[in-house]
């Protein structure tokens, strides 16, 4: 949702003589630098080959490896995230990845005397929520609407709607609701300033 063209077209409009007009524009001007920073980050990654939807929000992401291995869907939000692209990382729509998350697509085979490099793509499906400080290991798929708890280390795929916690991450009895209909990017102050005022 960070695209300025989209925000301008869909901005909340108020009469020029109203208090709301001046309040909204004050917020928009104050938050313009954070909005611009996320736009520049996304544009820079796209120029280097990443496939990132124009309505995705990219925070202070550190991406190592071939940027063409990265795909991020619409209305997904990534905070301060580290991504190692030895293989593909595919992030769906309306995914929220909190600060401190690490996504790793390669490691070494400890049972191999030559300690060979092994890699595997990571897929994070729509509406998944990856909690603060979690680590996603190579070859993992996080199912639609699944939740990874803060500081969890995910070494195995997570079923749709499941909630996993711990080291290593294991499912808990509670599941997420099946019907999901939200946009994690709407919660960002810069976007709210434009869309709500």
SS3 40: helix
Beta strands 135-136 and 102-104, pairing class: parallel
CATH of the domain at 34: 2.160.10.10
Place of tokens 């769906």: 92
What is the rounded CA–CA span in Å between residue 92 and residue 99? 18
% pLDDT > 70, the chain? 98
pLDDT tens profile 57-73? 898 999 999 999 999 99
Instruction: Provide the whole-model pTM.
Output: 0.88
Q: Among residues 53, 66, 86, 108, which one is catalytic?
A: 108
Q: Is the pLDDT of residue 48 over 90?
A: yes
As a whole number, mean pLDDT of residues 11-25 equals 90
87: containing domain: 4-195
Question: How many structural domains are present in the chain?
Answer: 1
Active site residue 117: no
């Amino acid at each position: 949702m960070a695209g300025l063209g989209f925000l301008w077209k869909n901005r909340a409009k108020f009469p020029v003589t109203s208090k709301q007009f001046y309040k909204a524009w004050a917020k928009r001007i104050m938050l313009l630098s954070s909005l611009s920073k996320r736009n520049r980050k996304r544009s820079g990654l796209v120029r280097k080959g990443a496939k990132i939807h124009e309505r995705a929000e990219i925070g202070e992401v550190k991406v190592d490896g071939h940027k063409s291995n990265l795909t991020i869907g619409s209305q997904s939000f990534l905070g301060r995230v580290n991504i190692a692209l030895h293989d593909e990382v595919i992030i769906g729509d309306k995914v929220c990845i909190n600060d401190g998350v690490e996504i790793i697509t390669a490691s070494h085979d400890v049972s191999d005397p030559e300690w060979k490099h092994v890699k595997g793509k990571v897929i994070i499906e729509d509406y998944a929520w990856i909690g603060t400080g979690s680590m996603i290991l190579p070859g993992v798929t996080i199912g639609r609407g699944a939740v990874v708890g803060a500081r969890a280390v995910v070494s195995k795929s997570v079923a749709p709607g499941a909630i996993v916690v711990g080291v290593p991450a294991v499912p808990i009895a509670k599941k997420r609701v099946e019907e999901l209909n939200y946009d994690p990017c709407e919660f960002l102050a810069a976007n709210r300033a434009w869309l709500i005022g």
